[in-house]
């Protein structure tokens, strides 16, 4: 019975120590400033899609690129845009 009491006390102390450590880590990480993104001046972009097209979704890429899912009357496309200069880099046709 004595060993069981020691085990329960030990596990209780471990739970308390883990909780305190978790709170300290959350406070430390919450206090760090998020670095400002190197945004430049706004760039005007045009997808160059026909009338009746609509944007169905946008996904961020890397190195200033964005993937734009476009639903067109003649089918769906994925347009890859360069946000630094506003140009469409390429287009992928989505078929069934």
pLDDT tens-digit map of 2-40: 999 999 999 999 999 999 999 999 988 887 766 666 666
| Residue 84: C-alpha distances to residues 11, 38, 92 (Å) | 55, 11, 20
Neighbours of 43 (CB within 10 A): 13
Q: What mean pLDDT comes out for the span 45-67?
A: 86
């Amino acid at each position: 019975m004595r060993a069981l009491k020691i085990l329960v006390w030990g596990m209780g102390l471990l739970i308390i120590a883990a909780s305190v450590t978790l709170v300290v880590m959350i406070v430390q990480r919450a206090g760090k400033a998020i670095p400002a993104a190197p945004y430049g001046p706004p760039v005007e972009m045009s997808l160059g899609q026909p009338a009746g097209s609509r944007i169905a979704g946008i996904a961020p890429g890397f190195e200033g690129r964005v993937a734009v899912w476009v639903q067109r009357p003649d089918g769906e496309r994925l347009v890859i845009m360069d946000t630094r200069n506003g140009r469409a880099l390429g287009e992928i046709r989505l078929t069934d």
